[in-house]
């Protein structure tokens, strides 16, 4: 049933009960020339990314089945499911999907065995490869391979930024160049942020390792990080995955370079300072035959950077949207992760000419009228 979104009054929400209802709404939309958009959980931060202003938004909130196979080696997942709190599995899978287990099992799209896709023609078919986003059809069901998982070790470490940034950047570069090769099961995310409420710059690490550890210990690969000392918060522990993982995004990928990371941080600080007082600033593979992302198999480590300023007033949009340092240094890698990208980026162009040409070919074949 179509209902009006009470928040906007300008979009019609359609929550299909199952995959068979999706072609009906697509064909209705085409026949009436009423635009439609697809929403997994709606976690893309920019306006219009997964909703249609003045059109129909197909939202999958009702299709939430999670059905393990009899041998528990695979699982059928409905597109309305969420993980990491409220992040939608649909967008996560279709865009690629980085997880704590990516070092071991690849990106999430690499673990998808098959996709049930509804084409712009209304036809439902099974596809085998992901990573191209929702550009070819509507993902109505995913079948993923599974693995056994006991409690994992992980958590956050937080420091005041100015006293810790050099040591953290050193540790990150050493981890990327050596540690991640010595212990591919581990994962590390380095963040720098300004916390408006406390008027403080902070550095933060998310670390994890799938092997449980005794309390008070950490994996050897993170020795350098723990040697930094005096974090003002340390939540690392062994716990279940769900226990451990209790905006606008910009994505870029650069070749690893210590000075660039420092300069990015300096510019981040300089550029962020003028917008610190915005009103209500919120606290803030290849295993299954490869994917379309165009990364992996390279000879050097890459740094995937996500800029995520958060603000509430559209009048502040212009003050926030800016960027480009690595390009000037010649370090920029063309890949920018679609799920961390902003509305003015072109992530598919960064998949490499060959992958892009293949995606265009697939799109022409399966969506000749450019419905999606
Ligand atoms: C707090 C937070 C944590 C995050 N953590 C991670 C992380 O650890 N790893 C990671 O890789 N990413 C992470 N992300 C990014 C996340 O992968 C993306 O935001 C992703 O797009 C979320 O999916 P969604 O279904 O909620 O998005 P939506 O905004 O609903 O959809 C994203 C895009 O996919 C399209 N789409 C959605 N569902 C379908 C479908 N069924 N068929 C066709 N097209 C569809 C939409 O139209 C839209 O273009 C995180 C984001 C947030 C906000």
pLDDT digits (tens, 9 = 90+) for 142-151: 999 999 988 9
| Ligand 1 atom at minimal distance to the Cα of residue 43 | 26
Which has more pLDDT, 129 or 362? 362
Residue range 95-131, pLDDT digits in tens: 989 888 888 888 899 899 999 999 999 999 997 776 6
Write the burial class of residue 292 (CB in 10 Å: 0-12 exposed, 13-18 middle, 19+ buried).
Answer: buried
Whether 371 contacts 120, CB under 8 Å:
yes
Q: How many angstroms separate the alpha carbon of residue 351 from the centre of ligand 1?
A: 18
Q: CA 102 to CA 87: how far, in whole Å? A: 17
Ligand 1, atom 23, residue with closest C-alpha: 91
pTM for the full predicted model? 0.80
Residues 17, 23, 29, 33: what is their CA dihedral angle, to the nearest 10 degrees? Answer: 170
Residue 251 has a pLDDT of 58
Domains and CATH numbers, the chain: 152-354 (3.40.462)
Pair of tokens at residue 256: 């690893």
Q: CA 348 to CA 361: how far, in whole Å? A: 13
Range with lowest mean pLDDT among 94-103, 230-239, 257-266: 257-266
Which residues does 51 contact at the CB level (< 8 Å), separation at least 6?
Answer: 11, 37, 39, 42, 57
| Ligand 1 atom at minimal distance to the Cα of residue 137 | 43
Residues 168, 189, 245, 348: what is their CA dihedral angle, to the nearest 10 degrees? Answer: 160
Q: CA 237 to CA 216: how far, in whole Å? A: 8
| Ligand 1 atom at minimal distance to the Cα of residue 91 | 23
Q: How many angstroms separate the alpha carbon of residue 226 from the centre of ligand 1?
A: 32
**Selection from 84, 239, 210 nearest residue 149 by Cα:** 210
Mean pLDDT of all residues in 208-219: 93
Task: Tell me the pLDDT band of 282, cut-offs 50, 70 and 90.
Answer: very low
Which has more pLDDT, 211 or 268? 211
Mean pLDDT of all residues in 258-270: 79
Q: Is 140 helix (H, G, I), strand (E, B) or coil?
A: strand
Question: Within 13 Å and on the Cβ side, how many CA atoms surround 201?
Answer: 13
Whether 209 contacts 180, CB under 8 Å:
no
Residue 52 has a pLDDT of 86
Residue 172 Cα distances to 7, 213, 218, 226, 365, angstroms: 43, 22, 16, 12, 43
CA 226 to chain centre: 27
Residue list, ligand 1 pocket, CB within 6 Å:
37-44, 49-50, 60, 79, 84, 87-88, 90-92, 94-95, 97-98, 133-134, 138-139, 339
| Ligand 1 atom at minimal distance to the Cα of residue 96 | 11
| Ligand 1 atom at minimal distance to the Cα of residue 39 | 30
- Among 94, 136, 206, the mutation site with the greatest number of ligand 1 atoms within 8 A of its Cβ is 94
Mean pLDDT of all residues in 362-368: 89
Which residues does 259 contact at the CB level (< 8 Å), separation at least 6?
Answer: none
Residue 299 has a pLDDT of 58
- Among 46, 86, 91, 131, the mutation site with the greatest number of ligand 1 atoms within 8 A of its Cβ is 91
């Amino acid at each position: 049933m179509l209902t009006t979104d009470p928040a906007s009054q300008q979009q019609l929400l359609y929550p299909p009960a199952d995959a068979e209802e999706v072609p009906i709404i697509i064909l209705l939309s085409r026949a009436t020339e009423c635009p439609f958009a697809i929403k997994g959980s709606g976690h893309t931060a920019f306006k219009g990314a997964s909703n249609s202003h003045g059109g129909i938004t197909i939202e999958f909130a009702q299709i939430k089945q999670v059905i393990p196979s009899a041998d528990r080696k695979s699982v059928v997942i409905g597109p309305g499911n969420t993980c990491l709190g409220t992040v939608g599995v649909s967008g996560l899978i279709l865009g690629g999907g980085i997880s704590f287990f990516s070092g071991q099992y690849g990106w999430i799209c690499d673990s998808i065995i098959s996709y049930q896709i509804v084409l712009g023609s209304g036809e439902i078919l099974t596809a085998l490869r992901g990573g191209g986003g929702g550009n070819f059809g509507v993902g109505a069901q995913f079948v993923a391979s599974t693995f056994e998982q006991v409690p994992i070790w992980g958590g956050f470490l937080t420091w005041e930024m100015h006293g810790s940034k050099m040591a953290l950047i050193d540790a990150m570069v050493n981890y990327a160049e050596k540690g991640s090769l010595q212990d591919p099961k581990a994962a590390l995310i380095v963040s720098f942020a300004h916390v408006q409420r406390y008027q403080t710059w902070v550095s933060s690490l998310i670390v994890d390792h799938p092997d449980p550890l005794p309390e008070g210990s950490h994996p050897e690969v993170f020795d350098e990080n723990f040697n930094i000392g005096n974090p003002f918060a340390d939540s690392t522990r062994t716990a279940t995955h769900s226990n451990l993982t209790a905006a606008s995004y910009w994505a870029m990928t650069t070749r690893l370079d210590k000075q660039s990371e420092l300069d990015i941080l300096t510019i981040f600080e300089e550029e962020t300072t003028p917008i610190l007082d915005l009103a209500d600033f919120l606290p803030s593979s290849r295993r299954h035959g490869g994917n379309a992302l165009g990364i992996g198999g390279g000879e050097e480590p890459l740094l995937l950077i996500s800029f995520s300023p958060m603000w509430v007033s559209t009048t502040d949009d212009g003050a926030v949207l800016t960027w480009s340092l690595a390009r000037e240094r010649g370090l920029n890698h063309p890949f920018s992760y679609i799920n961390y990208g902003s509305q003015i980026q072109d992530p598919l162009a960064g998949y490499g000419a060959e992958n892009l040409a293949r995606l265009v070919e697939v799109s022409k074949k399966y969506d000749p009228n450019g419905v999606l």
